Amino acid sequence: MKFSANLGFLWNDLSLPDAIRAAKAAGFDAVECHWPYDTPASDIAEALAETGLPMLGLNTRRGNVAKGDNGLSAIPGREDEARAAIDEAVSYACAIGALNIHVMAGFAAGDTAKQTFAAALGYACEKAGAHGITILIEPLNSYDAPDYFLSTTAQAIDMIAAVGAPNLKLMFDCYHVQLMEGDLTHKLHSLQPHIGHIQFASVPDRGPPDHGEVHYAHVFDVIADLGYTAPLGAEYKPTIPTDQTLGWLKPYR
pLDDT (tens digit per residue) in 210-250:
999 999 999 999 999 999 999 999 999 999 999 999 999 99
At residue 99, does pLDDT exceed 90?
yes
**pLDDT band for position 164 (cuts 50, 70, 90):** very high
State the average pLDDT for the chain.
98
**Domain residues for 191?**
3-252
Listed residue (238, 234, 231) closest to 53, CA to CA = 231
For 139, half-sphere exposure in the C-beta direction (CA atoms, 13 angstrom radius) is 24
Q: Number of structural domains, the chain?
A: 1
**pLDDT at 123 (0 to 100):** 98
Average confidence (pLDDT) over 169-179: 98
Average confidence (pLDDT) over 136-164: 98
Q: Strand 168-173 to strand 30-32: parallel, antiparallel, or no bridges (unpaired)?
A: unpaired
* Positive or negative: CA dihedral 186, 190, 194, 196: positive
**pLDDT at 159 (0 to 100):** 98
C-alpha pair distances (Å), 179 with each of 169, 174, 182, 205:
21, 8, 6, 11
**pLDDT at 253 (0 to 100):** 87
CATH number of the domain where residue 171 is located: 3.20.20.150
User: Are the beta carbons of 130 and 124 closer than 8 angstroms?
Assistant: no
Listed residue (141, 146, 144) closest to 109, CA to CA = 146
- Model-level pTM greater than 0.95? yes
List residues with catalytic annotation: 138, 235
Q: What is the pLDDT of residues 28-86, one digit of tens each?
A: 999 999 999 999 999 999 999 999 999 999 999 999 999 999 999 999 999 999 999 99
User: Are the beta carbons of 66 and 97 closer than 8 angstroms?
Assistant: no
**pLDDT at 86 (0 to 100):** 98
Q: Tell me the C-alpha distance between 252 and 175, whole Å.
A: 20
Q: Tell me the C-alpha distance between 194 and 107, whole Å.
A: 23
